[in-house]
Amino acid sequence: MSGSDRPLSEGEPILLYRKGERSIPLSLVAGKRVVQGFGVVDLTPAIGLREGDTLTVAGTPYTLLRPSLRDLIATWPRATQIVTPKDAGYLLYLANVSPGSVVIETGTGSGALTLFLARAVGADGRVITYDRRPEHQKVARERLAFAGVADRVTFREGDAAAGFQESAVDAVVLDVPEPWALLPAVVQALRTGGSLVTYTPTYNQLERTVRAIREGPFGEVTALELIERPLHVGEGGTRPSFEMLGHTGFLAGARKVASAP
């Protein structure tokens, strides 16, 4: 059964879609309220409708949709350093994440990677996300609640360097400035066969991380970066876009192939 058969229910995020406009995901709640870009609206009539149905707001008809992962992330401010989809997608692959996986992530940051992980592990999996900055956790927690996947995420404030509280997890993802400092904690928390992935912006960090990983009980070590090139299909033909993000981060991946000493 696919998602479209389910009627939209209160509390879900929805998208008021209209061609050519920027769509901002909204929480479907009953009653009047002020919504940025719309003024005072009452979304109550949308409850019980289905994706593809039309809702007229302030005289303008919109198509009702559930926001995709891409819709959800598109509206987050770029100011926060967000793990990009290209990196998140490859990171899930290196972390060997699938429905049911138990994954530790640190730091929580913007919550973008947390959302990717929470979606990928599904209702039977779990994401434990560490961050020492409560204000980061607060924003991320709200975003994951909005996306409807907060129930499968554990937020832990505090210093991962002191060790993770979990053990025998399937994967650990490090998005911190000094991943090498956390390797002892990773070795303790990760099950044998589990995966480690790191994400760092500089070559210096990547190099030190890879060298440290090689000295530990890890195998299948790999390092790479992904470059995303948007493409423009216009009247005059097709070409790469002039605008492009020049750099995000380097990925390193490894599997724990032996028990800790």
Nearest to 95 by CA among 193, 177, 215: 193
Least Cβ distance, residue 255 to a copy of itself (angstroms): 7
Minimum CB distance to a copy of itself smaller for 138 or for 148: 148
Nearest to 155 by CA among 169, 147, 146, 145: 145
Least Cβ distance, residue 222 to a copy of itself (angstroms): 8
Sign for the pseudo-dihedral over CA of 84, 90, 96, 98: positive
Minimum CB distance to a copy of itself smaller for 36 or for 259: 259
CA distance 255 to 214: 11
Least Cβ distance, residue 191 to a copy of itself (angstroms): 4
Q: What is the DSSP letter of 99?
A: T
Least Cβ distance, residue 219 to a copy of itself (angstroms): 6
Minimum CB distance to a copy of itself smaller for 182 or for 189: 189
Least Cβ distance, residue 202 to a copy of itself (angstroms): 3
Minimum CB distance to a copy of itself smaller for 1 or for 162: 1
Neighbour count for residue 38 (Cβ, 10 Å): 16
Cα first-last separation, the chain: 48
| Cis omega (within 30 of 0) for bond into 163 | no
Minimum CB distance to a copy of itself smaller for 134 or for 193: 193
Is the Cβ–Cβ distance between 85 and 70 less than 8 Å? yes
